[in-house]
Amino acid sequence: MNTRFIAYTAAAAVSMAAFTGAASARDQIRIVGSSTVYPFTTAVAEQFGKAGGKTPVVESTGTGGGFKLFCAGVGEGHPDVSNASRAIKKSEFDDCQKNGVTDIVEVKVGIDGLVMANSKAGPDLNLTQQQVFLALAKEIPGADGKLVANPNKTWKDVDPSLPDEKIEVLGPPPTSGTRDSFLELVMEKGAEGIEALKAVKKEDKKAFEKVWKSIREDGAYIDAGENDNLIVQKLEANPKAVGIFGYSFLEENTSKIKGAKIAGVSPEYDTISGGTYPVARPLFIYVKKQHVGVIPGLKEFVAEYVSSKAMGEDGYLPKKGLVPLPKEEADVSVKAGSDLVVISAPSS
């Protein structure tokens, strides 16, 4: 028999035995990832604990940071679930595979609106994606159409119809899925609406991508970390600032803050669920199937998450601001969570 095969088989057996022994010593589910999904997963964890299971540990690390931890390996030292405010990227999926995380279950749990909000004491804002791009991009087209360092200091500089207030936006860091969604749903769409950049996109897609992905670094955009509740507190303290986060944080703090209209549409439950609010995105959890049956309660936790009492229209998650999926999508999620359906590599 091939000696290399024998050695590989023996190593795999030892690794699995070590994992089984070590993982069984951890009797608590560990969850990492998106700060947007964090409050929903925490609610499910609490319900799971009340039902008799050991309450899972949930950490807010950001979507990208969560996938790094989740994909690092199999075993007691690695998380069982990763929250995500966007779908897993091919590069992240490939990292998982490389590190032995071969069986990944994707469960879409609901819809979220990406919100730009400010203090109740601040001005009412009605912004377009193009205006936000011109306020926050590192470089924008100058009078001759060539890219220049963003000169806009106030919202009025961007558009005379906007308030004469300093541009000061508190937003998510690069590790955040909310940052990824903001770039794609707001900055890219905004750039596509500017004539000078339409030519750039046509001639050089990579150059165009660099433009909409590059946020200014002169203080107009402030990396506020993964704690969205902290952003809400800062908006209260500074009525001139604007914050970026998920709809649930607006829903929970309507006495303190208000959401800006985007293209004339307010961020509300009905506009997000109905598809008229232009900045909406799906939310996910990813489950390491190799930990099911080894980490106690993992399968049951996922079953609680996809239950109608959790994410159904009248469930406890919509009461916390999660917008439920349409029935057809919800049915797919229930099957994925109940049957632990393993996904294949994404296309990008």
* Position 120 pLDDT exceeds 50: yes
Letter string b/e over residues 172-209, b meaning 16 or more CB atoms within 10 A of that residue's CB: beebbbbbbbbbbbbbbbbbeebeebeebbeeeeeebe
Q: Would you place residue 19 in the very low, low, confident or very high pLDDT band (cuts 50, 70, 90)?
A: low
Q: What's the CA gap between 5 and 233, in Å, rounded?
A: 58
Per the listing, tokens 């690069």 go with 174
Mean pLDDT of 207-223: 95
Six token digits for residue 244? 């970026």
Mean pLDDT of 285-306: 97
- Identify the three-state secondary structure at position 159: coil
Six token digits for residue 168? 């000061």
pLDDT of the residue at 25 = 59
- Report pLDDT digits (tens) over 38-59: 999 999 999 999 999 999 999 9
- Report pLDDT digits (tens) over 77-117: 999 999 999 999 999 999 999 999 999 999 999 999 999 99
pTM of the entire structure? 0.78
pLDDT of the residue at 229 = 80
Mean pLDDT of 315-336: 93
Q: Would you place residue 10 in the very low, low, confident or very high pLDDT band (cuts 50, 70, 90)?
A: very low
Six token digits for residue 115? 């919100």
Q: What's the CA gap between 134 and 136, in Å, rounded?
A: 6
Mean pLDDT of 227-240: 87
Q: What's the CA gap between 178 and 255, in Å, rounded?
A: 23
pLDDT of the residue at 109 = 97
pLDDT of the residue at 348 = 82
Strand 30-33 with 147-149, pairing: unpaired
How high is the mean pLDDT of the chain? 90
Contact 222, 169 (CB under 8 A): yes
pLDDT of the residue at 21 = 45
CA-nearest of 109, 74, 124 to 337 is 109
Domains of the chain (ranges, CATH numbers): 3-111+282-339 (3.40.190.10), 113-280 (3.40.190.10)
* Position 267 pLDDT exceeds 90: yes
Q: Would you place residue 6 in the very low, low, confident or very high pLDDT band (cuts 50, 70, 90)?
A: very low
Q: Would you place residue 175 in the very low, low, confident or very high pLDDT band (cuts 50, 70, 90)?
A: confident
Q: Which residues pair with 282 in a beta bridge?
A: 111
Q: What's the CA gap between 305 and 325, in Å, rounded?
A: 13
Task: Return the beta strands (E) in the chain as ranges.
Answer: 30-33, 57-58, 81-84, 104-119, 126-127, 139-141, 147-149, 169-171, 221-223, 242-246, 257-259, 261-262, 280-288
Mean pLDDT of 192-211: 93
* Position 16 pLDDT exceeds 70: no
Q: What's the CA gap between 275 and 38, in Å, rounded?
A: 23
pLDDT of the residue at 327 = 92
* Position 15 pLDDT exceeds 70: no
